[in-house]
Amino acid sequence: MIVETGHYALVLALALALVNSILPAWGAASGDRRLMAVAPSASIAIFGLIGYAFFALTYAHVVSDFSLVNVVENSHSAKPLIYKISGVWGNHEGSMLLWVLVLSLFGAAVALFSGSMPQDLRANVLAVQSWIGSAFLLFILLTSNPFARLGAPPLEGNDLNPLLQDPGLAIHPPLLYLGYVGLSITYSFAAAALITGRIDAVFARFVRPWTLVAWICLTLGIAMGSYWAYYTLGWGGFWFWDPVENASLMPWLAATALLHCAAVMEKREALKIWTIFLAILAFSLSLLGTFLVRSGVLTSVHAFASDPTRGVFILAILVTFIGGSLALFALRAGGLKQGGLFAPISREGALVINNLLLTTCCATVLVGTLYPLALEALTGDKISVGAPFFNMTFAPLFVPLFVLMPIGQNLAWKRGDLIGAAQRVAVAFGAGVVCALAIAAWRGGPVVSVLLSGLAVYVIVGSFADLGRRVFASSANVGTVVSRALGVPRQALGTAFAHAGLGVTLLGLAATGWGAEKILVMKPGGRVAIGAYELALDSLFSRAGPNYTEIVGKTIVSADGRVKAVIEPATRFYPARRMSRTDAGIATLGLGQVYVSIADPGENGAVSARIFWKPLVALIWIGALIMAFGGGLSLSDRSFRIGVARRARKVAALPQPAE
């Protein structure tokens, strides 16, 4: 009963989305208030219906209703409850359902929190959001229906891919989708602005908080995914330049550019074309990512549910939405009014450079991702573009970005003073140089690592240079300093934190150069030294989990004869799928980590072990958390709330992930 009503709710959501695609846009075109007013209530209802459908599918997974093909293929009655729930989106059909759920969540959030928007803009935004929703609901119902039923249900399911049976699955996809799909709202805003023909500060003001929300979630989602890959794939890496990772990195780069660009457009009415273009680009890259992952053109760790017949459908959606918006863009771009003027050396100018660098980064990633696919399609040769390509192309673009970041922060709007700005970041520059020299003298090590850590320190200090100078300016009176510090706009504070977070991540990346790696065969009682630590394999034993058996290598980590940590790296076997996965043992010591993964337990009681010492590695993810925190600070700035008459309302509130 619940299952079938959920199925019906999904169909009803499609019907409602179709209505919502037409009426509000028609109303906005003809100036009919009633038609426009359908959009908010319908958007909320669509979210409610898809939410109910999602609940129904979750229910079916939780109670192991094997009359659903989706449950049979991806669940198992012995699976722990958390994986029964997260397994809902650990497969193609369910993850598409989560996709439209997040899409409708953003639609509903705009309906609820954007009361101060001009009615016709809001009607068009929600209509465009419904176009996307209709297309994907149709895709789900026609090609990937999670509610497909079986007349003769089996008594047991096929279980979930073991790589996905991890707490990471509970958090990573919902977060990533909040970011990925959240960019749909910037796309809808851009399309709506193009349709209404008013591309101005109002548009920029309303689109910024949504971009920020999506960007925060995307940042956290990518970081989470990278940590997950780090501890489950068992070879100690955290970023593989895998096409699926690139698919999430490209929208992030575009969204970062958009975030900066929209600020210029809002404050100074400049860079309009860029802003609209980036808003379209960001979501187009999300769609491209969805296509790459969902169509099965790639075969990678993420391609857990691929079906080539679906590819064509998504490709059609992709072409329609990207092509349609670009056509609209071409049609309207000519008629844009000239915005505020600015000198080349100014905050605006710095943001233009930021945009150029970020979009070029994005383009290199795009090339690196699509080139192998195109080559395979044309010639049949299978090549893999990996870390060397990206290190060669990506790094030369990112290094100037890091160098310019603190300088840009110190430039004034409209007309800046480069020498003044350079003087202001001199302290930061000095800190970076001193740090690099100190590290070189103390640790030595690879030159790249030394230089990059210097750069990272420069970025971290430089991010706060401007704020510090203002807060501590001339007067040393404690009272003034405190009141000044409290008076700093949260947006400025957010910027500083986000930039510093990037520096922290860079420091973590730079430190990989001082890491150590050993691959060896170990027997219980064996000892090995790595970094400053000594590892002893205490015992090897097998253990039964709920739906797997594992061989655990209890390892004791000690330094100077004292036990620092006990870790239990394991290799697990899942009989239902006849697959194994490793579960790395990680001991976080300070900011560094000892990482052990074991494999292939042999007859003679020995295992092959990969052992890493990774100094400061935790900073990579801590940096991402700081970036997201900065985004949150910025989002809470009062300037994002716009008071119209007495109906002051919050423009944006961080939407809660549903279910």
Tokens, residue 24: 């509000």
Residue closer to other proteins by CB (options 75, 582) is 75
> Is 193 strand, coil or helix?
helix
Q: Which amino acid is at 250?
A: M
Stretch that binds other proteins, among 284-292, 525-533, 620-628, 638-646 (CB under 8 A): 638-646
What is the Cα Rg of the chain in Å? 26
Tell which one of 93, 120, 245, 550 touches other proteins (CB under 8 A). 120
User: Are 193 and 333 in contact, with CB atoms under 8 Å apart?
Assistant: no
Shortest Å distance, C-beta 413 to other proteins = 5
Residue closer to other proteins by CB (options 413, 541) is 413
Residues 261-280 touching other proteins, rule: CB under 8 A, are 267-269
User: Are 436 and 454 in contact, with CB atoms under 8 Å apart?
Assistant: yes
Relative to beta strand 527-530, strand 533-544 is: antiparallel
Residues 186-225 touching other proteins, rule: CB under 8 A, are 198, 200-202, 205
| Chain length of the chain | 659
Tell which one of 112, 113, 153, 536 touches other proteins (CB under 8 A). 153
Residue closer to other proteins by CB (options 562, 647) is 647
Residue 19 interacting with other proteins (CB under 8 A): yes
Shortest Å distance, C-beta 129 to other proteins = 15
Tell which one of 29, 32, 370, 404 touches other proteins (CB under 8 A). 32
Shortest Å distance, C-beta 182 to other proteins = 23
User: Are 533 and 516 in contact, with CB atoms under 8 Å apart?
Assistant: no
Residue 302 interacting with other proteins (CB under 8 A): no
Tell which one of 121, 125, 276, 587 touches other proteins (CB under 8 A). 121
Tell which one of 80, 396, 446, 575 touches other proteins (CB under 8 A). 575
Q: Which of 635, 621, 628 is nearest to 218 (CA)?
A: 628
Return the residue matching tokens 């030595």: 444
Residue 15 interacting with other proteins (CB under 8 A): yes
Residues 395-434 touching other proteins, rule: CB under 8 A, are 412-415, 417
What is the rounded distance in angstroms from the CA atom of residue 83 to the CA atom of residue 91?
12
Tell which one of 25, 35, 183, 616 touches other proteins (CB under 8 A). 35
What is the rounded distance in angstroms from the CA atom of residue 35 to the CA atom of residue 15?
17
Shortest Å distance, C-beta 502 to other proteins = 21
Residues 303-362 touching other proteins, rule: CB under 8 A, are 340, 347
Q: Which of 552, 546, 543 is nearest to 583 (CA)?
A: 552
Stretch that binds other proteins, among 18-26, 291-299, 390-398, 507-515 (CB under 8 A): 18-26
Shortest Å distance, C-beta 368 to other proteins = 38
Residue 599 interacting with other proteins (CB under 8 A): no
Q: Which amino acid is at 33?
A: R
Residue closer to other proteins by CB (options 250, 262) is 262
Residue closer to other proteins by CB (options 154, 605) is 154
Tell which one of 320, 558, 580, 639 touches other proteins (CB under 8 A). 639
Tell which one of 29, 55, 69, 77 touches other proteins (CB under 8 A). 77
What is the rounded distance in angstroms from the CA atom of residue 352 to the CA atom of residue 349?
5
Tokens, residue 477: 């009176």
Stretch that binds other proteins, among 39-47, 307-315, 361-369, 589-597 (CB under 8 A): 39-47
Residue closer to other proteins by CB (options 397, 471) is 471
Stretch that binds other proteins, among 154-162, 173-181, 219-227, 399-407 (CB under 8 A): 154-162
Residues 277-296 touching other proteins, rule: CB under 8 A, are none
Tell which one of 80, 81, 82, 154 touches other proteins (CB under 8 A). 154
Nearest 10 degrees: CA dihedral of 209, 215, 220, 226? 180
Tell which one of 49, 281, 287, 504 touches other proteins (CB under 8 A). 49
Shortest Å distance, C-beta 16 to other proteins = 5
Residue closer to other proteins by CB (options 27, 553) is 27
Return the residue matching tokens 């990206």: 390
What is the rounded distance in angstroms from the CA atom of residue 577 to the CA atom of residue 199?
54
Residue closer to other proteins by CB (options 67, 608) is 67
Q: Which amino acid is at 474?
A: S
Shortest Å distance, C-beta 313 to other proteins = 16
Tell which one of 25, 50, 57, 65 touches other proteins (CB under 8 A). 65
DSSP string over 481-542: HHHHHHHS-HHHHHHHHHHHHHHHHHHHHHHGGG-EEEEEEE-TT-EEEETTEEEEEEEEEE
Shortest Å distance, C-beta 324 to other proteins = 23
Residue 644 interacting with other proteins (CB under 8 A): yes
Shortest Å distance, C-beta 40 to other proteins = 8
> Is 383 strand, coil or helix?
coil
User: Are 318 and 187 in contact, with CB atoms under 8 Å apart?
Assistant: no
What letter would DSSP give residue 445?
-
User: Are 517 and 533 in contact, with CB atoms under 8 Å apart?
Assistant: no
- Please say whether the dihedral angle defined by the alpha carbons of residues 632, 637, 639 and 643, taken in this order, is positive or negative: positive
User: Are 395 and 402 in contact, with CB atoms under 8 Å apart?
Assistant: no
Q: How many CB atoms lie within 10 A of CB 29?
A: 15
With a CB cutoff of 8 Å and minimum separation 6, the contacts of 198 are: 121
Residue 589 interacting with other proteins (CB under 8 A): no
What is the rounded distance in angstroms from the CA atom of residue 125 to the CA atom of residue 386?
39
Shortest Å distance, C-beta 174 to other proteins = 24
> Is 543 strand, coil or helix?
strand
Residue closer to other proteins by CB (options 518, 649) is 649
Residues 466-495 touching other proteins, rule: CB under 8 A, are 470, 488-489, 492
Residue closer to other proteins by CB (options 484, 518) is 484
Tell which one of 64, 91, 165, 186 touches other proteins (CB under 8 A). 64
DSSP string over 331-370: HHHTTPPP-----SSSHHHHHHHHHHHHHHHHHHHHHHHH
Which whole-number Å values give the CA distances from 158 to 62, 145, 161, in the listed order? 15, 18, 9
Tell which one of 55, 73, 149, 608 touches other proteins (CB under 8 A). 149
Residue 643 interacting with other proteins (CB under 8 A): yes
Give the number of residues in contact with other proteins, rule: CB under 8 A.
Answer: 87
